Structure 1
Amino acid sequence: MKKFLATLLIASTVTTGASLIAPTQAHAAPEATIVSSVNFRSAPNTSASSLRFLKAGEKIQIISKVNDYWYYVQTTQGQLGYISTSSKYVKYAGAGSSTGSSGGSSSSSSSTVNKIISAGKKYMGTPYEYASDRSNTRTFDCSDFVRQAFKDGAGITLPSDSRGQGSYVKSLGHSTTNWRNLKAGDLMFFMDYKGTSKSSYPSNTSNQRITHVGIYLGNGQILHTYSKDSGGVRIDNIAGKHWEYRFMYGGSALK
């Protein structure tokens, strides 16, 4: 997929160091609040360089727990780094599943979705490469990443490109053009990047070409990868961003 404007790619210097660490998955709710100013570091140790201090009241997402002392987190600006696990610095904003899924799915379907999302999150920070090799997990492009998450989490092998995946979802009759109607684990399909303004995008997307795909996490967030400079596999917010304006349709890839 085409590279985006440099102003959108704010996490590249952080994720270069962060992606060298392979933390274990956290079992707690991902949404958290900083309760006291805490050092936001480039690696999970006190000798690592400080990226900045996170201030009291800042919202973050806990991506994973490295060990008893360090969390791997993402800020609302998309920065990735490490903070202390101490409750004097961070407090969970609420309990619940990290997928943000709502009712309506069977327990078996919900379990599958959780496994797919967990499988995808294991690759946080994995470098982006256009037309990446589908036979390994050293790098991903957008559709390769989605394909691998479904393969690892549910044993499902999706088509290898985003347009093929989009056609597959439509063939199942699960698609919607309103991203707010999506459930956690659904796929999201996007047109080309045309800028940060809503007016740059057509209101009718039916004749647009799919150029990007990601996994919806619920709570207005997407798990995906889209350029080398953005830091590889990451989580982004959708609402009010170019992701919302570029969205074409989405839906479940599960039968």
Structure 2
Amino acid sequence: MITTYKQVAATLLVSATLAVSLGVSAPQQAFAATAGASVTATASQTGIIQSSVRLRTSPSTGSSVIKYLQTGDQVIILEKTNSYWYKVRTASGEVGYTSADDQYISVVTAPAAPSSAQTAVIESTVRLRETPSTSGTTLGYLYEGDQVVILEKTNSYWYKVQTSQGTVGYTSSSSQYISVGGAVPAPAPTPTPTPVPTPTPAPPASSAIIDKVIAAGMGYLGTPYEFGSSRSNTSTFDCSDFIRQIFIDAANLKLPADSRQQGTWVKENSTAVTDISALKRGDLMFFMDYKGSSASAYAGINKSTARITHVAMYMGDGQILHTYSVSSGGVRVDKLSASWMNRFLYGGSVIR
């Protein structure tokens, strides 16, 4: 009997330790959460990210990282997989698993739809926009089979709708994208829960954007190197493709496709610096060909006219984030060694 009590206590201690390990603070731990059966979440649940956390391919800290979810991001909760994980869908349509710990995510329930509104079913993937215009900000995507409530027919081209997660916006009224059903029955009166305030973040400062860009880059650690990699997928990267992709992911900013064009872009849109000590966290760094590990190998070279052959991101504290060869293991973080400093041409900010 004494042995049984000890075993139970040890099991509880291990479970508590594993629950804490699911956050971003301990990425080295690998744990496949198996406790509890999968529980499907209600269609009216959405999650608000409270602190930066990984989105993974499966409910385990040993699985691959799809991307980082940032504070204030909204996700649709598809199911509560177990006590430790939610299966979620992001606003851009990515499906994965993230921690169910309320340190990282808070769950809110969408408000009831107006009783006189009409329901509609999405027939084909379509954008939900902030205003009834193709230039309006995209709030997210509606997917085939999703149900929405039509709040009004704004004009011949647009419906104002409310999603099952409570988001209100505008979408195309074309029958290619949406089919309209009957009126929504008036719901029975229910107690009104205390609403959970949805964070409304202020426009991020440049430092916050850079943090998101670096977080996006760290999510690709280990992605294989391929010279001339395709710009249409993220299965492999060369140096300029990697830099271009992380600014698309985190800042919705599309840089030119190769390192020399990126160097020109920085010169034309920012202030180029040639002194490494003047670089700031998040600045791009441009390098020439490798000619040797000693400074003497670069003596007499006019670096103002030297050809750019590599680009990396400066992370501060003498570290760079980049990818440069198959043998090096793909995307990685390196110390800014003497060899890299000898090859350095100039750098500068993308986000100002």
Which aligned segments of 4 or more residues in structure 1 are displaced greater than 6 angstroms? 66-70
Match of 1:236 in 2: 334
Match of 1:208 in 2: 306
Alignment partner of 1:196 out of 262, 284, 293 = 293
Alignment partner of 2:257 out of 140, 154, 160 = 160
Q: Report matched runs for 1:23-172 at 5 Å.
A: 26-27=24-25, 44=30, 108-172=205-269
Residue 107 of structure 1 and its aligned partner are, at CA, apart by 5.8
Q: Residues 163 and 208 from structure 1, CA distance in 2 versus in 1: closer, same or farther, beyond 3 angstroms?
A: same
Residue 253 of structure 1 and its aligned partner are, at CA, apart by 1.2
Residue 169 of structure 1 and its aligned partner are, at CA, apart by 0.2
Secondary structure of the residue aligned to 2:230 is: coil
| Letter in structure 1 aligned against 2:349 | S
For structure 2, the residue ranges without an aligned partner over 5 or more in a row are 1-21, 32-53, 63-202
Secondary structure of the residue aligned to 2:205 is: helix
Compare CA radii of gyration and give the structure with the larger one.
2
Secondary structure of the residue aligned to 1:175 is: coil
Q: Residues 165 and 69 from structure 1, CA distance in 2 versus in 1: closer, same or farther, beyond 3 angstroms?
A: closer
Secondary structure of the residue aligned to 2:347 is: strand
Secondary structure of the residue aligned to 1:232 is: coil
| Letter in structure 1 aligned against 2:214 | I
| Letter in structure 2 aligned against 1:138 | S
Residue 254 of structure 1 and its aligned partner are, at CA, apart by 2.0
For structure 1, the residue ranges without an aligned partner over 5 or more in a row are 1-23, 31-40, 46-63, 71-105
Match of 2:283 in 1: 186
Secondary structure of the residue aligned to 1:134 is: coil
RMSD: 3.0
Residue 27 of structure 1 and its aligned partner are, at CA, apart by 4.3
Is contact 1:25-1:122 (8 Å) kept? Answer: no
Distance 2:221 2:60 in 1: 20
| Letter in structure 2 aligned against 1:146 | I
Equivalent pairs counted in the alignment come to 167
Is contact 2:288-2:306 (8 Å) kept? Answer: yes
Deviations 1:59-111 (A, max 9, x none): xxxxx9x99998xxxxxxxxxxxxxxxxxxxxxxxxxxxxxxxxxxx961111
Whether 1:225 and 2:323 are equivalent positions in the alignment is: yes
Distance 1:194 1:175 in 2: 23
Report sequence identity in percent: 53
Q: Residues 116 and 194 from structure 1, CA distance in 2 versus in 1: closer, same or farther, beyond 3 angstroms?
A: same
Distance 1:111 1:194 in 2: 37
Match of 2:272 in 1: 175
Is contact 2:270-2:350 (8 Å) kept? Answer: no
Is contact 1:177-1:250 (8 Å) kept? Answer: yes
Q: Residues 68 and 127 from structure 1, CA distance in 2 versus in 1: closer, same or farther, beyond 3 angstroms?
A: closer
Residue 122 of structure 1 and its aligned partner are, at CA, apart by 0.4
Secondary structure of the residue aligned to 1:217 is: strand
TM-score for both structures, normalised by structure 2: 0.43
Higher strand share: 2
Secondary structure of the residue aligned to 1:214 is: strand
TM-score for both structures, normalised by structure 1: 0.59
Is contact 2:243-2:312 (8 Å) kept? Answer: yes
Secondary structure of the residue aligned to 2:346 is: strand
Deviations 1:22-41 (A, max 9, x none): xx98348x9xxxxxxxxxx9
Higher relative contact order (CA 8 A, sep 6+): 1
Is contact 1:190-1:213 (8 Å) kept? Answer: yes
Distance 1:184 1:175 in 2: 14
| Letter in structure 1 aligned against 2:330 | G
| Letter in structure 1 aligned against 2:335 | N
Q: Residues 27 and 150 from structure 1, CA distance in 2 versus in 1: closer, same or farther, beyond 3 angstroms?
A: farther
Match of 1:14 in 2: none
| Letter in structure 1 aligned against 2:24 | A
